[in-house]
Chain A
């Protein structure tokens, strides 16, 4: 979202609640609508490479869960199949499916959070409590690409030396390990040497004289207050619904789920409403550009 700024604390709270609900809710209808809403949100935020990676990562994992859970968990009363000594129960299968659904939803929520909140905003939230950690993290983010570059260069040189002196040699396993160890030794000592200069540069610019402040500043605006009040209301209603049993189904010991049962009631609608605010904001912004 480019035209609306939301305070990072509000984002953090909202996404935290979403993750919590992804754990708590169990009903396939709820989970399915959750999934649809999140996918819509991600589509509006822009499908990126990390998102594709998440999906690629998830699919084998979900298949694994769906297969493993019935094989390992034999609790349940409706058998479907017999393998060896034990049954494959319907309950275990359904539980596996629901679990992987939850997992997918959580991964997608994380991915969406990544797009919404940059790491600087995160630092802003935590820098007051943990100023040193944010400094260290910033430096780490700076040095990782640098170390990567150095490692690539040293690798090139090492391969060059090897092919130049004995091209036909087969590297035994020990030799390969020795070579990698040498590579890392060079990179580490080189980086340590250069980082002394970084330390000097930091000192020369006054690091450590006083307590550090931050250049980031985020204020609470009207949108944030509306957002917060909206979240509070919908969460309260959804939680009361959850306590009354809407949104969870019993899987163990017996599946008590009726496909034709109508889940639609006011708790369902509040739950959907909880999922909508950011979608609404993104959508509204997209309209302004067209």
Chain B
């Protein structure tokens, strides 16, 4: 008998369309299930319905069975202890200020005796090796450690089912990988049923039992990982979710039917062995996977569609930047770099190496402790923080955009002068303003219009921008009600309304599903064509390799590598893209899917 069973389950939020329709699922004990789908497809709603305490308010049809019983009927103690729910943001789930209290919190809620509580906490810390962190303040932990503490806090209750809503989306790749290996261990050694939602499934695919692809509330595909690949590879939405290894395999399969005889690869080892077998097969017919003509990538990279103008003035120049938040720990030690117009630069590096710090110093949010930054004259900068919610303070998205063009832009006394001025000269064009003679009245206005080339964007330009980012449907909503990807877009548009010459993005693809990432990449390319320089920090190596022209690796407080993505990744063995890891033997310079497509003509 299955542990969890959805029987014709449909759900809708009040006054809205069905978020989930006709879900029929069975989850056996000890299975590891992965839920995937574009944002808005109902994954979180599905998981939240399994937990009585947080099930969303709304109307539902059909029944969910837990262990044979209707899930709404099970006693609260059972629901709280046997089903554990882990949220996306490691920061928000914590309630106490030290680790021990956090882990003991659920046990205290259950009313267990002090001795029993101490027993369970001791067992948990021994298993996960948290001894040295036990009395630490939670603010001092890294993101991965926080998420681990959250997980421990669930596990002390001895759950049978774990529900995880995008547990690794806010973590860097190393921490994510550690977390997933712990999940795997929990599933294999303790037979805990796990249902997880994720966007980056490359690491998870090899060891799940079943993958479920949701789209607009319906279960589109539901099968074992290997079988689901062949079903989903032709779907234009879900093919983006499949691991890179599988996608490369299918690309090659369209050209070489031989691969159809082999097993579909899910991890890099299987992928590489498939490539080796294919190569052997091709050798029989005198061809090979290795390209006969070694392409000159230097030349190729130089002919990128967006010309980088190195001859013109440098936008930003850093000389010997040093920075630290406290004297005991210096984060940046001597940074020297220049940024040229039209570039798309990505800053990479491990966790805590100072990428966000460097970005904030470049954008001018913080002053370096030592060293100078020089900006080009009249350089307009835009900055989008890691958490887009920090930028919002109005009730609707519409007001957010209006606020930028009016309030922040001109100080209040000058607004009256603008009106007066405009009525006299009857022109909104900034050029005519600067040409007109200055009068005796205070005209710092002229200076403020002339020194920066930023007349507020006209309504038409603004509407065009909103349409480009597909935000027209969101104008009436409160910014907090929008999904993560939409919030990111709103924050970017807000920054763009000030006509920046250079845009600083801090981890723009955090927590985004693959389709939204493609959209964002498209938009950034369009903006780059219009002349915008983009600087971003990211952990997403595949995104950086595909879309940026220059990668910088931060290590030990300084810039270790500063080169094209191809040069950076093809020379690395471990810190490189999935594609590169798979095709290294045959295409040492291949770092993105498009490289693979070009080289092997698929």
Contact = CB atoms under 8 A, between A and B. Distances in A.
A205 B157 contact: yes
Contact of A215 (B108, B389, B390): B108
Interface stretch (A15-23, A96-104, A154-162, A235-243): A154-162
Contacts of B409: 165-166
A157 B91 contact: no
19 contacts: A138-B96, A139-B96, A141-B97, A142-B138, A157-B385, A159-B365, A162-B408, A166-B409, A166-B410, A168-B447, A185-B393, A201-B85, A201-B150, A204-B54, A206-B80, A209-B77, A211-B111, A212-B109, A213-B111
Interface of A: 120, 138-139, 141-142, 145-146, 149-150, 153-154, 156-157, 159-166, 168-169, 175, 182, 185-186, 189-190, 193-195, 197-198, 200-217
Interface string B477-508: 00010000000000000000010000000000
Interface stretch (B66-74, B98-106, B331-339): B98-106
B94 interface: yes
Interface in B103-148: 104-115, 117-118, 121, 137-139
Contacts of B85: 201, 204
A164 B411 contact: no
Contact of B108 (A159, A163, A168, A214): A214
Contacts of A169: 411
B81 A206 contact: yes
B139 A145 contact: yes
A142 B95 contact: yes
Contacts of A139: 95-96
Contacts of B53: 200, 203-204, 206
Given A194-B89, A213-B114, 14 more contacts: A138-B101, A161-B408, A164-B364, A165-B409, A186-B392, A198-B93, A200-B53, A200-B54, A204-B80, A205-B105, A205-B109, A206-B157, A209-B76, A209-B111
Contact of B390 (A157, A182, A195): A157
A213 B114 CA distance: 7
Contacts of B189: none
Given A142-B94, A168-B444, A206 B100 contact: no
B389 A213 contact: no
- Counting chain A CB atoms within 10 Å of each CB, the highest count among B93, B109, B114, B389 belongs to B109
Contacts of B150: 201
A182 B76 CA distance: 42
A8 B210 CA distance: 54
Interface of B: 51, 53-54, 76-77, 80-81, 84-85, 87, 89, 91-97, 100-101, 104-115, 117-118, 121, 137-139, 150, 153-154, 157, 360, 363-366, 380-381, 383, 385, 389-393, 408-412, 444, 447-448, 454, 480, 498
- Counting chain A CB atoms within 10 Å of each CB, the highest count among B100, B380, B393 belongs to B393
A210 B444 contact: no
A200 B360 CA distance: 33
Contacts of B111: 209-213
A195 B91 CA distance: 10
A193 B84 CA distance: 22
A215 B114 contact: yes
Given A156-B365, A211-B111, A204 B51 contact: yes
B139 to A, nearest CB: 5
B9 to A, nearest CB: 20
8 tightest A-B CB contacts, nearest first: A206-B80, A210-B111, A215-B104, A142-B97, A205-B106, A197-B92, A201-B93, A206-B109
Contact of A209 (B93, B109, B138, B389): B109
B54 to A, nearest CB: 5
B360 A164 contact: no
A109 to B, nearest CB: 26
Given A166-B411, A201-B92, A204-B54, A215 B107 contact: yes
A146 B408 contact: no
B276 to A, nearest CB: 47
A212 B97 CA distance: 18
A200 B85 CA distance: 10
A104 to B, nearest CB: 31
A215 B101 CA distance: 8
Contacts of A207: 109
A168 to B, nearest CB: 7
A193 B480 CA distance: 8
- Counting chain B CB atoms within 10 Å of each CB, the highest count among A157, A186, A206 belongs to A206
Nearest to A216: B114
A74 B155 CA distance: 70
Contacts of B113: 213
Contacts of B97: 138, 141-142, 145
A160 B365 CA distance: 6
A195 B389 CA distance: 14
A94 B338 CA distance: 69
B393 A186 contact: yes
Contacts of A204: 51, 53-54, 80, 84-85
A240 to B, nearest CB: 41
Contacts of B96: 138-139, 141-142
A146 B139 contact: yes
Contacts of A146: 91, 139
A189 B393 contact: yes
A214 B84 CA distance: 21
Contact of B110 (A160, A164, A210): A210
A168 B389 CA distance: 28
A141 B92 CA distance: 14
A201 B90 CA distance: 11
B138 A160 contact: no
A125 B137 CA distance: 22
A202 B95 contact: yes
A112 B50 CA distance: 51
A150 B89 CA distance: 15
Nearest to A170: B411
A17 to B, nearest CB: 29
A157 B391 contact: yes
Contacts of B447: 168
B112 A213 contact: yes
Contacts of A210: 77, 109-111
Contact of A163 (B110, B364, B366, B389): B364
Contacts of A206: 53, 76-77, 80-81, 106, 109-110, 157
Nearest to B80: A206
Given A138-B96, A201-B93, A211-B111, A154 B390 contact: yes
B89 A166 contact: no
